A and B are shown apart, each in its own frame.
Chain A
Amino acid sequence: MTEKLLMRGSHVIGETAALSGCRFYAGYPITPQNELTEYMAGAMDKLDNGTFIQAESEIAAINMVIGASMAGARAMTSSSSPGISLKQEGISYLAAFELPAVIINTMRGGPGLGNIAPAQGDYFQATRGGGHGDYRTIVLAPASGQELAGLTRAAFDYADKYRIPVMLLGDGMMGQMMEPVELPDPLDLDTLPPRPWKLDGAKGRPSQFIRSLFLDTTVEEDHNWKLNRKHQNITRDISKAELFETKDAKMVIIAYGTAARIAKGAIKKVREMGLKVGLIRPITLWPFPSQELIEISRHLRDFLVFEMSTGQMVEDVRLALEGRGNIHFYGRPGGIISTPDEISKVIISLYHRQHLEED
């Protein structure tokens, strides 16, 4: 498809999921992501082999996804922060079972019921596994309508390739905004690699099972190392960041998703004033694009991490840079959306404080 469509972010995710072979969706209403659930109801209905279930809870929804994935389907669920907390047990099981699945988190202000405004307070939960046990999920952070399409397709592909749950981490701004998008071509399900592990009845093959219980500690240890090797491969293969105006930069902002868009606006402003500032926008939050950061740290010292939280990704920046450079932080939690003006002021004062205009 080459035509550009003006579409709402949540609909881009839904339509791309359907075009990417998603044949099962279960979800429970929660603002600000109801448009996606509603879209999936229609999208699955239009397919002759699609299933949509409005589940009785987020717990039920993620467990339905587990079942659909066991049965070999590309399956997805979506929610917003409080509902994602409820899904964590199921996500941990998906990781242990090595089942592919896609989870959309439209983050809102928190903790608790919080509010429905865009926020980035679920970074730790998303990138550290979120549920119990020693595992990770792939976490992708789109920042435009086009990227919502690309990363939704990628989410399904990564989930299959690595047999791992993949989370798309956005917010209500991402879900609501209308942008022109080119949707990917519909995927021919027959071209997907076979799933020899799936449960579809022991016909013409020995019976098989999917489990997460390993009472023998040495077997559980092996299972954990196996997952860990997979995590290492993923880290090597898919870490990704966008670099914007970094070539001559004396300072870079590190921000993802909605915050990165705001930061870009601020950078354009300060560039007009002659400040050499760039942006590193992590596209994969886990694996974190540490190499890109290290590379840039060879040319400059000052990093300003900007998040819509009190500071979560900043810890990954510190871990990545291991003392190379000065790491500054600016954040607004609780659903506050900073303006590019506000961020440019932060940049300007930091730029001068670090005497960057001098060298």
Chain B
Amino acid sequence: MTTKVFKRPKYLKDAIFHYCPGCGHSIIHRLLAEVVEELDIGERVIGVPPAGCAVLAYFYFDFDMGEAPHGRGAAVATGIKRILPNNIVFTYQGDGDIAAIGTAETIHAANRGENVTVIFVNNGVYGMTGGQMAPTTLAGQNSTTTPGGRDVLRDGAPIDLSQMLAITKGSVYIERTAVNSPKNIRRTKKALTKAFKAQMDGLGFTLVEILSPCPTNWKLSSLDSLKWIDDHVTKTFPLKVIKDEIENRSNLATEAINQT
């Protein structure tokens, strides 16, 4: 008799990803579906996909999803969550989407402490539009619009949006992880779980930034892309818990309940 030890997660549709070989979006999609299943929130989760390589995410996830205009995920999620506070709402956004055109919406959603979860996939380029410089492109890194490499004096230095968001009072949990090794993939899943749980407890704005490979636009092999994350990307964007006030906020929330 055979036992099934590996299967498609319940909340991934039976569809083939359109992502390039070696792209991190596929791994992140799987992790997300697993977390939704394990937390048993598939019937109340609502996802907000971006304009970016993950724009077609509604073809892959088997729960409700509503598309946002490029960069406006946090505002759309705000509207959904305020109407349906008992649902679990997340956005899924690339670095261009969240840290360039959507910076304002993201910072203000965090500052208001919107009780939503942001999944921020940092692949250092504009993948969907063909590999232009992103706000997170590393200093010296080539892209189609920085042919000689990103010159920080001309193009600005890579932006650490997660760090910026950590300063806001409304954010409760922000962690940067990666999906370039089994260990980091497990850590990413843990971070996603933690973020969703904090939202389920009503604690406020949570965000997981995931360093993710883009072999196509980095012009590297899949394996070299994984190594590039360790050797280069994490030097500018170190993997760490950037902010974690979950414990504090939970205690405050319990106190408030006890007092009333």
Which residues from chain B contact A200 at a C-beta distance below 8 Å? 46, 64, 84, 87
B43 at the interface (CB under 8 A from A): yes
Checking B55, B63, B69, B83 against A207 with a beta-carbon cut-off of 8 angstroms, the contacting residue is: B63
In the complex formed, the residue of B with least CB distance to A209 is B58
B191 at the interface (CB under 8 A from A): no
In chain A, positions 189-241 with a C-beta closer than 8 Å to chain B are 199-204, 207-213
Are the C-beta atoms of B67 and A210 separated by less than 8 Å? yes
Which residues from chain B contact A169 at a C-beta distance below 8 Å? none
In the complex formed, the residue of B with least CB distance to A200 is B84
Interface class of chain B by DSSP: mixed
* Complex CA–CA separation, A237 to B159 (angstroms): 52
Checking A26, A93, A207, A213 against B56 with a beta-carbon cut-off of 8 angstroms, the contacting residue is: A213
* Complex CA–CA separation, A61 to B69 (angstroms): 13
Q: Mark A262-299, 1 if CB is under 8 A from B, else 0.
A: 00000000000000000000000000000000000000
Most buried by B among A63, A68, A97: A63
In chain A, positions 6-30 with a C-beta closer than 8 Å to chain B are 23-24, 26
In the complex formed, the residue of A with least CB distance to B44 is A201
In the complex formed, the residue of A with least CB distance to B65 is A209
A67 at the interface (CB under 8 A from B): yes
Interface residues on A, range: 35 or more
In angstroms, how far is the closest chain B Cβ from the Cβ of A223? 13
Stretch in contact with the other chain, from B70-78, B132-140, B180-188, B235-243: B70-78
B66 at the interface (CB under 8 A from A): yes
In angstroms, how far is the closest chain A Cβ from the Cβ of B26? 19
Q: Mark B42-67, 1 if CB is under 8 A from A, else 0.
A: 11111010000001101001111111
Checking A26, A56, A59, A67 against B80 with a beta-carbon cut-off of 8 angstroms, the contacting residue is: A67
Interface residues on B, range: 35 or more
* Complex CA–CA separation, A26 to B80 (angstroms): 13
B108 at the interface (CB under 8 A from A): yes
Number of A-B contacts (CB under 8 A): 131
* Complex CA–CA separation, A55 to B62 (angstroms): 31
B68 at the interface (CB under 8 A from A): yes
Are the C-beta atoms of A63 and B79 separated by less than 8 Å? yes
A57 at the interface (CB under 8 A from B): yes
Most buried by B among A56, A57, A201: A201
Stretch in contact with the other chain, from A69-77, A115-123, A160-168: A69-77
Contact A53 to B67, CB < 8 A, known contacts A201-B44, A207-B61, A213-B56: no
Checking B61, B83, B107 against A68 with a beta-carbon cut-off of 8 angstroms, the contacting residue is: B83
* Complex CA–CA separation, A61 to B56 (angstroms): 25
Which residues from chain B contact A51 at a C-beta distance below 8 Å? 82-83
* Complex CA–CA separation, A23 to B85 (angstroms): 14
* Complex CA–CA separation, A202 to B112 (angstroms): 27
Which residues from chain B contact A199 at a C-beta distance below 8 Å? 46, 64-66, 80
Are the C-beta atoms of A89 and B58 separated by less than 8 Å? no
In angstroms, how far is the closest chain B Cβ from the Cβ of A133? 12
Are the C-beta atoms of B78 and A53 separated by less than 8 Å? yes
* 18 A-B residue pairings within 8 Å (CB atoms): A59-B105, A60-B75, A61-B75, A63-B75, A66-B76, A67-B76, A67-B79, A67-B80, A68-B80, A71-B84, A72-B83, A93-B67, A199-B66, A199-B80, A201-B46, A202-B43, A209-B58, A209-B67
